[in-house]
Structure 1
Amino acid sequence: MAVSLDPRLMEILACPSDDHAPLRSGTPTDPDADVLTCTSCGRGFPVVDGIPVLLLDEASPPLDTPED
């Protein structure tokens, strides 16, 4: 199930790391995942019961992209 958050909230949510980059829903490999992914560092933040868990300790590491 895809993350379904208010668009106004998505505009202000940002990665809690030092770069504070915007977040997007899903992952590069699974756009329907219940995760918010940082557009800069690539960390994935879980969304539990509709609430984003924006803690660096709870984030999944960035996904490695396959090299050509």
Structure 2
Amino acid sequence: MAGVLGSLKFAEYAERESAAVIPRGHIEELPDGPLGLGVWVSNTPRSRRAGLSQEWREQLIALGVDCAVAT
């Protein structure tokens, strides 16, 4: 769930701020509490990105995220 929520919030941030680079300290406020979006992005290794669906990967790539998969 955290991966999907993080991806959704990343997409919202990128659209809102017109930027795909999120400062590590950036926090998104959610109804259930804060989400450290910058930390989520920096802690999501490329190996985990391999588990994203092709649709999610394409959306993130369109936002400027490096979705290259570690080998």
- TM bin (shorter chain): under 0.3
TM-score (norm 1): 0.25
Select the structure that is richer in strand: 1
Select the structure that is richer in helix: 2
